């Protein structure tokens, strides 16, 4: 299936027809909602906050921020940025509570330093890998975006960006740009290897000296639930290379260790790891 | 767009990034609407230290509100003064700019606001 990102710029892809189709699809509504809840879980904010929704579209992600119960630390207020006037138009019609801006995140973020407690982005930032025009490179756009995001978050703040890289190169390009901007970064992968695999780029802005500068890519998520981060180097020394039957639980666990050594954050191993899933065709 | 948000917005033009004159953006010929939003004292207390008080004062005056006290309330003031809490709630969260423009005092760029949505798209040469 061809990716819309490779076909048209986002403001042209998300025209009136597509924006409506996207927003009214119950399949999309469900997926976007579950990813937003996952991102919120990773943000781990405990009190009503000011949140930036990057590529907010028609507000499927943002409206969840407004609806968080006080018992769960909400409700939050949010500012949403999107490049598609059609998507924002639908957000208006749906009467979302956040403030909306028509803006291109590849041009930077026009906020004072330390404006936001946190930021989320659901299914948007892979668009930055496609250069808008010959005048600007995608590297330049990624740099402006992450530099702007870094500055507009408060110290100790966090951002979680779920994204769909086309390939390994885009994934590295995105996480590399985030790290270069000063973020501590980790990638969490839910349901790896399945067609529902979801990647979350978890970013932290250093707060105090001890947890700040020089934070290791896996260190970022060490306090998050459901992510198992081991000390990669020590593990490496202890265990030699072993051969396991491909697909066995031991094989998966050793693959996970390999990925962790490369600084990738993988899903917590559970009693379900390595079990056959029911795959329906 | 909420007055609160305006208190955080700066000019997006590259040449304005390094000057303090690009904040706050000045509201011009703005129409306001008022939206009822459930009070959220914890949120206000969280936000207050981040609000640029002098900028909020000039924004309030430009939008036709009476001028604010010269100094921001302390968290204790806010907690004990329900009227002040309610007034700030109204100004920062319930008062919204629906039409008009926001002007950079440094470069003069005008950001149009339509149906509450500010347009921050820039031509490439200004980025
Ligand atoms: C798949 S939609 C997701 C919308 C929303 N976050 C959700 O979960 O439903 C991707 C959105 O990213 C926006 N987008 C893509 N590139 C952008 C850019 N450079 N600046 C701002 N928004 C962008 C698109 O316009 C689109 O609305
Ligand atoms: Zn300017």
Q: Which residues does A131 contact at the CB level (< 8 Å), separation at least 6?
A: A137, A138, A141
B33 touches chain A (CB under 8 A): no
Task: Provide the pLDDT confidence category of residue A136 given band limits of 50, 70 and 90.
Answer: confident
Name the least confident of A43-47, A88-92, A169-173, A252-256.
Answer: A252-256
Look up the domain containing B59 and give its range.
3-126
CA pair distance A241, A231, nearest whole angstrom: 17
- Asked if pLDDT for residue A237 goes beyond 60, the answer is no
Chain B residues in contact with A75 by the CB 8 A cut-off are: 38, 40
B53 touches chain A (CB under 8 A): no
**DSSP string across B66-84:** PPPPSSPPPHHHHHH-HHH
Q: To the nearest 10°, the Cα dihedral for A80, A61, A155, A268?
A: -160
Residue A216's pLDDT is 45
Ligand 1 neighbourhood includes A32 CB (under 6 angstroms): yes
Cα distance between residue A121 and residue A103, in whole Å: 14
Write the CATH number for B101: 2.20.25.10
Q: How many CA atoms does the CB half-sphere of A9 hold within 13 Å?
A: 13
Q: Is B51 on the interface with A (CB under 8 A)?
A: no
pLDDT of residue A231: 30
| Residue A258: predicted pLDDT | 61
Q: Could you tell me the distance, in angstroms and rounded to a whole number, from the CA of residue B19 to the centre of ligand 2?
A: 9
Whether residue A50 is found in the same domain as residue A166: yes
pLDDT-derived band of residue A233, with 50, 70 and 90 as boundaries? very low
> Which of these ranges, A198-202, A206-210, B63-67, has the smallest mean pLDDT?
A206-210
Residue ranges for chain B with pLDDT beneath 50: none
Q: What whole-number percentage of chain A has pLDDT above 90?
A: 69
Average pLDDT, chain A: 83
| Tokens (6 digits) for B55 | 């900028």
pLDDT at A272: 46
Q: Hey, of A92, A101, A145, which one would you mutate to test binding to chain B, going by the most B CBs within 10 A of its CB? A: A101
The DSSP bridge pattern shows strands A153-163 and A116-122 to be parallel
State whether A176 and A222 are in the same domain: yes
Minimal Cβ distance to A99: which of B5, B11, B43: B5
pLDDT recorded at residue A131: 72
User: What are the backbone dihedrals phi and psi of residue A108, each rounded to the nearest 5 degrees, phi first?
Assistant: 110, 180
Q: Are residues A125 and A164 in the same domain?
A: yes
Please tell me the distance in Å from B46's CA to the nearest CA on chain A: 7
Residues of A in contact with B116 (CB under 8 A): 92, 99-100
Do B94 and B34 touch, CB atoms closer than 8 A? Answer: yes
Same domain? For A269 and A207 the reply is no
Q: What is the pLDDT of residue A113?
A: 97
Q: Coil, helix or strand for B109?
A: coil
- Closest-CA residue of B relative to A105 is B121
Contact B43 A77 (CB under 8 A): yes
A278 pLDDT exceeds 50? no
pLDDT for position A217: 45
* A182 & A122 share domain: yes
Q: Are residues A235 and A265 in the same domain?
A: no
Higher pLDDT, B25 or A133: B25
A217 and A95 housed in the same domain: yes
Residue A168: domain span:
4-240
B9/A111 CB distance under 8 A: yes
Do you know the residue count of chain A? 281
ipTM, two decimals: 0.97
B115–A112: do the CB atoms touch at under 8 Å? no
- Considering only CA atoms, which residue is closest to atom 27 of ligand 1? A57
Does A248 lie in the same domain as A117?
no
What is the distance between the alpha carbons of residues B120 and A268, in angstroms, rounded to a whole number?
41
Both A207 and A272 in one domain: the answer is: no
Q: Closest to B124 (Cβ–Cβ): which among A77, A101, A136? A: A136
Taking only the tens place, the pLDDT of each residue in A43-102 is 999 999 999 999 999 999 999 999 999 999 999 999 999 999 999 999 999 999 999 999
Determine if residue A59 is left, alpha or beta; phi over 0 gives left, psi from -120 to 50 gives alpha, anything else beta: left
Count of structural domains within chain A: 2
Q: Which residue of B has its CA nearest to A144?
A: B127
* In contact, A56 and A77? CB cutoff 8 Å: no
Residue A168 has pLDDT above 50, yes or no: yes
Same domain, A172 and A217: yes
Residue A41: pLDDT above 70?
yes
Interface contact B10-A110, CB threshold 8 A: yes
What is the predicted pLDDT for the residue at A265? 57
pLDDT-derived band at A251 (thresholds 50, 70, 90) equals low
DSSP assignments along chain A, one per residue:
---HHHHS-HHHHS-HHHHHHHHH-HHHHHHHHHHHHHHHHHHT--S--EEEEET-TTSTTHHHHHT--GGGT---EEEEEES-HHHHHHHHHTT-SSEEEE--GGG---B-TT-EEEEEEES-GGGGGS-SSTTS-HHHHHHHHHHHHHHHEEEEEEEEEEE--SSHHHHHHHHHHHHHTT-EEEEEEESTTSTT-EEEEEEE---STTTSTT--TTGGGTTSTTB----HHHHHHH-------TTSHHHHHHHHHHHHHTT-EEBPP-TTTTPPP----
Cβ contact (<8 Å) for B12 and A117? Answer: no
Q: Are residues A141 and A220 in the same domain?
A: yes
For residue A80 and ligand 1, the question of a CB distance below 6 A is answered with no
- The answer to whether residues A256 and A162 belong to one domain is no
CA A238 to chain centre: 33
Query: What is the per-residue pLDDT for A239?
Result: 42
For A109-122, the pLDDT digits (tens) are 999 999 999 999 99
Kindly state the greatest CA–CA separation across chain B.
Answer: 50
Mutate to test the interface with B, among A54, A110, A145 (most CBs of B within 10 A): A110
Domain count, chain B: 1
- Predicted confidence band of residue A218 (pLDDT cuts 50, 70, 90): low
Angstrom CA distances, A58 to A7, A23, A28, B20, B33, stand at 21, 7, 12, 33, 22
Q: Residue B126: what pLDDT?
A: 95
Distance between Cα B107 and ligand 2 center (Å): 4
- What's the rounded mean pLDDT across residues A215-226? 51
pLDDT for A2 equals 83
CATH of the domain at A221: 3.40.50.150
Top residue of B32, B121, B123, B125 to mutate, by most chain A CBs within 10 Å, is B121
């Amino acid at each position: 299936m061809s990716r819309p990102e490779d076909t048209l710029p986002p403001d042209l892809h998300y025209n009136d027809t597509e924006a409506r189709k996207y927003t009214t699809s119950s399949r999309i509504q469900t997926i976007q909602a579950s990813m937003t809840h996952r991102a919120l879980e990773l943000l781990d904010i405990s009190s009503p906050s000011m949140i930036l929704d990057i590529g907010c579209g028609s507000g499927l992600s943002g409206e969840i921020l407004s609806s968080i119960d006080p018992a769960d630390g909400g409700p939050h207020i949010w500012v949403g940025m999107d490049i598609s006037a059609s998507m924002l138009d639908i957000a208006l019609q749906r009467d979302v509570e956040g403030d909306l801006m028509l803006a291109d995140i590849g041009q930077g973020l026009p906020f004072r330093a330390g404006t936001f407690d946190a930021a989320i982005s659901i299914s948007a930032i892979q668009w930055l890998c496609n250069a808008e025009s010959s005048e600007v490179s995608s590297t330049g756009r990624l740099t402006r975006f992450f530099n702007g995001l870094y500055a507009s978050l408060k110290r100790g703040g966090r951002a979680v960006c779920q994204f769909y890289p086309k390939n390994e190169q885009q994934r590295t390009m995105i996480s590399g740009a985030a790290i270069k901007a000063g973020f501590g970064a980790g990638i969490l992968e839910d349901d790896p290897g399945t067609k529902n695999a979801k990647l979350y780029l978890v970013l932290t802005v250093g707060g105090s000296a001890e947890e700040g500068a020089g934070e290791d890519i896996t260190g970022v998520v060490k306090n998050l639930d459901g992510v198992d981060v081991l000390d990669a180097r020590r593990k490496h020394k202890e265990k030699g290379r072993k051969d396991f039957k491909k697909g066995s639980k031991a094989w998966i666990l050793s693959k996970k260790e390999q990925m962790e050594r490369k600084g990738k954050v993988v899903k917590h191993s559970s009693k379900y790891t390595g079990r056959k899933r029911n795959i329906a065709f | 767009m909420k007055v609160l948000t305006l208190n955080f917005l700066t000019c997006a033009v590259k040449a304005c990034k390094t000057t303090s004159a690009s904040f706050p953006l000045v509201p011009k010929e703005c129409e306001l609407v008022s939206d009822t939003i459930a009070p959220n004292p914890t949120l206000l207390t969280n936000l207050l230290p981040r609000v640029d008080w002098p900028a909020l004062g000039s924004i309030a005056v430009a939008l036709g509100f009476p001028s604010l006290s010269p100094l921001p309330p302390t968290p204790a003031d806010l907690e004990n003064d329900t009227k002040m809490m309610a007034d700030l709630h109204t100004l920062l969260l319930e008062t919204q700019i629906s039409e008009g423009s926001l002007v950079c005092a440094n470069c003069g760029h005008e950001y149009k606001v339509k149906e509450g949505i500010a347009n921050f798209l820039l031509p490439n040469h200004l980025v």
